[in-house]
Amino acid sequence: MMVNLRATYLSPEEIDKIVSPLLTKDFEAYGYKDKSIKEDETFDGEPIIRVRANVEKAVPADEMIATLSRIHDALRSENDERFVFLSAPGPEAPVVGGVDEEDAD
């Protein structure tokens, strides 16, 4: 593995300053409420950033990809090259034809 000696790991606060405006603008039409940002590792120990946007409506895949690309570009402009996992799960889908845990006795 080749190590980038210029790589920087921004703090969660610095990441928030970059990510928040992008999510607010890009996901406004989907009822963007807030987000969580978590530094994590992949199964093989590579550092990553997990961003979860809380929205009221599902965000189309093409818009998720476009926003993810903007986040990567913005972080890389600050020399943070960690991979970002972006999720915006939207509202929970109702269980159709299933059994609620409360009703299962």
Q: What is the pTM of this model?
A: 0.78
Query: Is the residue at 98 inside a domain?
Result: no
Mean pLDDT of 7-15: 89
SS3 34: strand
Q: Are 84 and 71 in contact (CB under 8 A)?
A: yes
Token pair belonging to 31: 């009822």
- Number of domains observed in the structure of the chain: 1
Q: Which CATH number belongs to the domain containing residue 58 in this structure?
A: 3.30.70.1350
Q: What are the tens digits of pLDDT across the range 51-99?
A: 999 999 999 999 999 999 999 999 999 999 999 999 998 776 555 655 5
What's the average model confidence in pLDDT over 12-26? Answer: 96
Q: Is residue 102 part of a domain?
A: no
Backbone angles phi, psi at 16, to 5 degrees: -60, -45
Q: Tell me whether residue 20 is in a domain.
A: yes
- Per DSSP, the three-state class of 15 is helix
Query: Is 19 domain-assigned?
Result: yes
Residue 6 within any structural domain of the chain:
no
Mean pLDDT of the chain: 86
66 assigned to some structural domain: yes
At residue 1 the predicted structure's pLDDT band, cuts being 50, 70 and 90, is: very low
- Domain extent, residue 70, equals 12-87
